[in-house]
A = this chain, B = another copy of it.
C-alpha cells in the first residue's frame, strides 16, 4: 500500500501570468510526473510525486512592459525576482516560468539565482522541434514575444524557418489573449486564434504551429477545425522538462 518514496527534488512554478494558465501548468506538470514515473519504473502513487509549489502572484503585464521602457513604468522584473526567491526559500531546486513572454526576463532570474535551474521554455520547445526534424513552424504569440524575438532567435539558431502573422493578425491574437482568455471569453479567444492559425497555414503552408503564449492552448485545440495542423503546446514541453528535473536523482545509475 505504501511503496518507498523515490528520490525527488522540490521544484517551483512561476504562475499568475495569467492564473488560468498557471493552474493548467500545474496540471500538465502532474501529468508529466506520472509519465516520468512510468518511464523510470516507479509505481505511481500520491507520495511518489515531487514536492512542488505553484506561485500565482500578480505580475505587471509583460507585453505592456516590453513596450514601455520608461523608468518607473510597471515592470515584471521585481515581482518575478521576489516570487523566484520565495520558491527558492521553499526549497525549490528548479523553476519553470509559466508564461512565454516572461522569458524575456529569464536571463535576469537565472543570473540572480545561480543556485537554481531556471528552465528556459523557449529553448526546450526549439530543442524538441529540432529533435523531430521540423523544418518550419508558424508562431502564435503576444506582441511582446514577437517584438522581443523570443522564439525567432532560438528557431533561427536551430535552422528552423519561423512564419509570423501580419500586423493585423497579431492584433487579432492580442484580442484573443486579452479580451478572450484573460477576460474569461473563450469563444472569442478560439475564434481569433483559429482565424490566425488558418491564415498562416494558407499563406505559408505550415504544418506545425507553436502556441507561444500560455493562454492560447486554453482556447485552441487540435482536431476538427484545424485539419493538417500539429499544435505544439510549450507548457507541456516545459512541464516535461520540469518533471525530468524533479526526478533527476531517481534516474537509475545505469541509464
Contacts and interface: CB of A to CB of B under 8 A. Distances in A.
Interface of A: 1-2, 5, 16-20, 22-24, 26-27, 29-31, 33-34, 38, 43-47, 49, 51-61, 64, 74, 86, 90, 178, 182-184
> Which of A26, A31, A44 has the most chain B CB atoms closer than 10 A to its own CB?
A26
Contacts of A178: 45
Contacts of A61: 1-2, 46-47
A188 to B, nearest CB: 13
B49 A56 contact: yes
Contacts of A46: 16-19, 58-59, 61, 182
How many copies are assembled? 2
- Interface residue SS majority, chain A: mixed
A58 B5 CA distance: 9
The 6 closest A-B pairs by CB, nearest first: A54-B54, A23-B26, A23-B27, A18-B46, A19-B49, A19-B30
Contacts of A55: 53
Nearest to A35: B184
A25 to B, nearest CB: 9
A7 to B, nearest CB: 12
B20 A30 contact: yes
A31 B58 CA distance: 16
A184 B44 contact: yes
Contacts of A5: 58
A74 B182 CA distance: 43
A56 to B, nearest CB: 5
A49 B58 CA distance: 7
A49 B51 CA distance: 24
B183 A45 contact: yes
A47 B59 CA distance: 7
Contacts of A90: 86
A57 B51 contact: yes
A26 B30 contact: no
A81 to B, nearest CB: 15
Nearest to A58: B47
Contact of A182 (B22, B45, B51): B45
Given A19-B46, A51-B58, 19 more contacts: A2-B60, A5-B58, A16-B46, A16-B51, A19-B49, A19-B52, A23-B23, A23-B54, A24-B27, A30-B56, A45-B178, A45-B182, A45-B183, A46-B58, A46-B59, A47-B58, A49-B58, A53-B53, A54-B54
